[in-house]
Amino acid sequence: MTAQWQANVSLKPFNTFGIDVKARHLVQAHDDADVLQALTAAAERGLDVLVLGGGSNLLLTQDVDGLVLHMASRGRRIVADDGEHVLVEAEAGEPWHPFVQWTLAQGLCGMENLSLIPGTVGAAPMQNIGAYGVEIKDVFAGLTALDRQTGAMREFNLQDCAFAYRASVFKANPGRWLILRVRFALKRTLDPHLGYGPVRQRLQEQGIEQPTAQAISEAICSIRREKLPDPEVLGNAGSFFKNPVVSSACADRIRAVYPDLVAYPQGEQGVKLAAGWLIERAGWKGYREGDAGVHRLQALVLVNYGQASGAQLHALAGKIQDDIRARFGVELEMEPNLC
């Protein structure tokens, strides 16, 4: 059945910032046929297309005068299983955290550190999402995408995706590739990634010396709930700025003035600075302009207290970027896509 077109639709329920802008048209795509039909019809009408998943990595600053294609496909399955190594596949519209929980319920390991990240499976490779020492690239096995330039389907392997820190070939070519489903290589034996101190500490506090994947997931969920606001309660898109990578000389210069600088050596690439530390040290934590603000507990998160517009949040982000540049000589880059 052809997917139904809706007109003049509020996008407030479709973005985690809760920005109330309107889409001229909206289509919910439940399968590949819906996607192809919607794209064909949009082309015939001369409409631009904005593809939305969970709307968790997006800042909407204006109405969308075109078609919003919402990826609502569902499905998750085990594709191959040799007893130890298991290949799983999920449709693009699957919500990310429930999918991670499903893999854990199957007795599979590898996704536990990526628990409670908002968004959908299809959006995850775009950003090469990561948390607590694990990124998508570490468990990625392949994906199927539609080339919107040619209309052809293409299979991507790990190398094809050109994953980097919060980056991929898909993000580098915005609008070209529409991800339809993603595959992950998981295992039944746990190889725990406990390099981040807070996770180890939380497990120790619980008296867990030999953690299971489920225990690691639960520890990470509890930490994230303490640090990050729930988008259902307070509009946000998670971390708003990337952790900047700077030269060792730059890090040393900042550390000479601020000995408590939070930084992580990246080998020849330089030093990764904690953007949240920079923003908090500059005094922005808890700052508020109307309904646009910086979260009181996590300086890396911009929040919508109710009626903030995307333009207001973008303006606030610009002020923070200008201040960090002037104060530390460091450029902060936004994580969310701007529309």
Q: What region, left, alpha or beta, does residue 8 occupy, with left being phi > 0 and alpha being psi -120 to 50 degrees?
A: left
Euclidean distance between CA atoms 130 and 89, whole angstroms:
19
The DSSP annotation for 194-257 comes to --SHHHHHHHHHTT-SS--HHHHHHHHHHHHHHHS--TTTSEEEEE-BPPPEE-HHHHHHHHHH
Euclidean distance between CA atoms 110 and 185, whole angstroms:
8
Euclidean distance between CA atoms 38 and 29, whole angstroms:
8
Q: Which residues in 97-176 belong to E strands, given as ranges? A: 130-131, 134-135, 140-147, 153-156
Euclidean distance between CA atoms 28 and 35, whole angstroms:
9
Euclidean distance between CA atoms 239 and 301, whole angstroms:
5
Which of 166, 181, 224, 281 is the catalytic position? 166
State both tokens at 92: 């693009």
User: Considering only CA atoms, which of 298, 332, 297, 339 is closest in space to residue 317?
Assistant: 332
Euclidean distance between CA atoms 189 and 84, whole angstroms:
7
Euclidean distance between CA atoms 65 and 42, whole angstroms:
12
Which of 89, 94, 218, 335 is the catalytic position? 335
Which of 112, 239, 281, 309 is the catalytic position? 239
Query: Is 239 among the residues known to form the active site?
Result: yes
Query: Is 335 among the residues known to form the active site?
Result: yes
Query: Is 202 among the residues known to form the active site?
Result: no
CA 135 to chain centre: 11
Which residues are tagged catalytic?
A: 166, 239, 335
